[in-house]
């Protein structure tokens, strides 16, 4: 249980909120799917930490990212023409190149060139990796890229989706650290994957609730969910939490594949969830993903749903009567998005009644609060700037019942 003040510290990201400043000044932030940015295509609205930005891909393939508002009169640059490696505002035809430099101000006539040199439009560094566009919103030089296993993979080895989620970012993160819910909330979908033989181990989550052990790491937390299968064997499922908003979940008996959950704050009450798969040692066909949905999905609105609290977010009670556990039939991820939204825009953590299986959630909150305190004192916390930090990989395995999971990871 948190105090009201602690809950605000962890959840509020807008303006000069401490968590927002921490994210802005310490981390690269993923903000869009790379494939959603098309050369000379429509500019994309990006909302991060309570502010609006615009991202676009220029004629030559480069990406620009600016404040959304044209510096002239504040018209949205999502309306701009994207051509000739620049955005041109449709109101007065001011033109800005990929670096954010004003190159034409037609309303000034003969003074266009000299006046353009005085125009300031905030431009933000970006890089493309793992199917995502990452942006640096902080002051000064950006840090090294995060230690993620999929950033340098070929496009064929990564599959990524985006969902707009109507709740605070921390609800998204905490859902990824809770392995217990996999075998309850997702049981109908997991049984389907198990029966299809597409994943060797995920079916073990249906057998028995896990015992949790958590260890701190230079980048965040490592959460091990341990399930005893019989007298001789245990199922070990280790999730890597790369603070503040990234969780890496293991694939099937390998540390060279897995799924990513990235809960990026749009503002205090909404976040973007980037969810996908990667596979390092082969070209990746998202077979598991096909088994986790019933129809084709819009990759920029993957787990959207119809309805709200008034109609139980579109839950299908007839399907529940026929045996589906939750009644959300479109895709597995929809179950996560709905239960998080049902908690309210910002869940009141002062009223929770936590139990032993919530240890990873509790430890993550404690670590985040400690990091915020260190940031406020201008002390170095976790090491996002350490270029020597090894790439982080989650793993699951079936091992001897008496073998410690830390020992297994060491090998």
* Residues 116 and 96: beta-carbon distance below 8 Å: no
What is the distance between the terminal CA atoms of the chain, rounded to a whole angstrom?
Answer: 36
Burial of 246 from C-beta contacts in 10 A (0-12 / 13-18 / 19+):
buried
Q: Which of 78, 113, 135 is the last residue of a domain?
A: 135
Q: CA–CA separation, 381 vs 303, rounded Å?
A: 34
Total domains in the chain come to 2
Confidence at residue 278, expressed as pLDDT on a 0 to 100 scale? 93
Q: CA–CA separation, 225 vs 93, rounded Å?
A: 57
Q: Judge whether 393 lies within some domain.
A: yes
**In CATH, what number is assigned to the domain containing residue 42?**
2.102.10.10
Confidence at residue 61, expressed as pLDDT on a 0 to 100 scale? 98
Residues 128 and 216 in one domain: no
Residues 212 and 311 in one domain: yes
Q: Give φ, ψ of 409 to 5 degrees.
A: -65, -30
Q: CA–CA separation, 77 vs 50, rounded Å?
A: 17
Q: Judge whether 237 lies within some domain.
A: yes
pLDDT tens, position by position, for the chain (411 residues)?
A: 899 999 999 999 999 999 999 999 999 999 999 999 999 999 999 999 999 999 999 999 999 999 999 999 999 999 999 999 999 999 999 999 999 999 999 999 999 999 999 999 999 999 999 999 999 999 999 999 999 999 999 999 999 999 999 999 999 999 999 888 888 999 998 888 777 666 566 667 777 788 889 999 999 999 988 888 888 888 888 999 999 999 999 887 777 889 999 999 999 999 999 999 999 887 656 556 887 898 889 999 999 988 899 999 999 999 999 999 999 999 999 999 999 999 999 999 999 999 988 999 999 999 999 999 999 999 887 755 455 567 898 988 888 887 787 876 766
Residues 115 and 207 in one domain: no
**In CATH, what number is assigned to the domain containing residue 253?**
3.90.380
Q: Judge whether 144 lies within some domain.
A: no
Q: Please give the model's pTM, rounded to 2 decimal places.
A: 0.94
Q: Judge whether 6 lies within some domain.
A: no
Residues contacting residue 402 through CB under 8 Å, at least 6 positions apart: none
Q: Judge whether 142 lies within some domain.
A: no
Residues 116 and 253 in one domain: no
Q: Which domain holds residue 349?
A: 167-410
Spell out a b/e string for 138-170, using b for 16 or more CB atoms within 10 Å of the CB, else e: beeebbeebbbbbbebeeebbbbbbbbbbbbbb
Q: Judge whether 155 lies within some domain.
A: no
Residues 45 and 181 in one domain: no
Residues 180 and 316 in one domain: yes
Residues 340 and 382 in one domain: yes
Residues 175 and 119 in one domain: no
Residues 189 and 114 in one domain: no
Eight-class DSSP state of 210: P
Residues 387 and 249 in one domain: yes
Indicate left, alpha or beta for 123 from its phi (over 0: left) and psi (-120 to 50: alpha): beta
Provide DSSP, 362-387.
Answer: HHHHHHHHHHHHHHHTT---S-TT-T
Q: Judge whether 36 lies within some domain.
A: yes
Residues 120 and 204 in one domain: no
Q: Judge whether 214 lies within some domain.
A: yes
Confidence at residue 196, expressed as pLDDT on a 0 to 100 scale? 67
Confidence at residue 193, expressed as pLDDT on a 0 to 100 scale? 79
Residues 263 and 345 in one domain: yes
Half-sphere exposure in the Cβ direction for 84 (13 Å, CA):
8
């Amino acid at each position: 249980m948190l105090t009201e003040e602690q809950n605000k510290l962890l959840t509020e990201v807008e303006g000069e909120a401490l968590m927002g400043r921490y994210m802005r000044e310490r981390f690269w932030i993923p903000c869009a799917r790379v494939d959603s940015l098309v050369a000379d295509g429509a500019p994309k609205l990006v909302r991060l930490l309570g502010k609006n930005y615009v991202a676009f891909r220029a004629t030559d393939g480069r990406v620009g990212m600016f404040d959304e508002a044209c510096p002239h009169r504040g018209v949205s640059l999502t309306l701009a023409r994207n051509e000739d490696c620049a955005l041109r505002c449709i109101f007065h035809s001011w033109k800005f190149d990929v670096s954010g430099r004003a190159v034409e101000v037609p309303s000034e006539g003969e003074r266009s060139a000299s006046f353009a040199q005085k125009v300031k439009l905030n431009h933000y560094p970006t890089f493309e990796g793992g199917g995502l566009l990452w942006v640096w919103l902080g002051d000064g030089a950006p840090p090294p890229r995060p230690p993620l296993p999929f950033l340098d993979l070929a496009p064929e080895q990564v599959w990524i989706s985006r969902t707009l989620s109507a709740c605070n970012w921390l609800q998204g993160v905490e859902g990824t650290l809770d392995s217990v819910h996999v075998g309850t909330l997702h049981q109908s979908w997991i049984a389907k994957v198990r029966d299809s033989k597409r994943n060797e181990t995920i079916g073990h989550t249906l057998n028995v609730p896990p015992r949790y052990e958590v260890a701190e790491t230079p980048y965040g937390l490592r959460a091990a969910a341990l399930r005893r299968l019989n007298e001789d064997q245990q199922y070990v499922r280790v999730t890597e939490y790369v603070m503040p908003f990234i969780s890496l979940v293991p694939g099937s008996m390998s540390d060279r594949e897995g799924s990513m959950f990235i809960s990026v704050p749009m503002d205090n009450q909404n976040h973007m969830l980037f969810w996908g798969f990667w596979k390092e040692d082969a070209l990746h066909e998202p077979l598991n993903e096909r088994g986790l949905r019933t129809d084709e999905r819009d990759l920029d609105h993957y787990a959207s749903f119809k309805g709200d609290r008034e109609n139980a977010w579109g839950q299908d009670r007839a399907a529940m009567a026929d045996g589906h556990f939750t009644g959300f039939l479109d895709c597995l991820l929809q179950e996560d998005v709905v239960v998080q939204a049902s908690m309210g825009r910002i869940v009141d953590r002062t009223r929770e009644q936590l139990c032993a299986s919530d240890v990873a959630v509790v430890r993550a909150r404690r670590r985040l609060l400690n990091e915020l305190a260190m940031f406020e004192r201008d002390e170095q916390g976790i090491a996002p700037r350490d270029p020597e930090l090894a790439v982080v990989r989650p793993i699951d395995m079936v091992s001897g019942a008496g073998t410690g999971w830390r020992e297994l990871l060491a090998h």
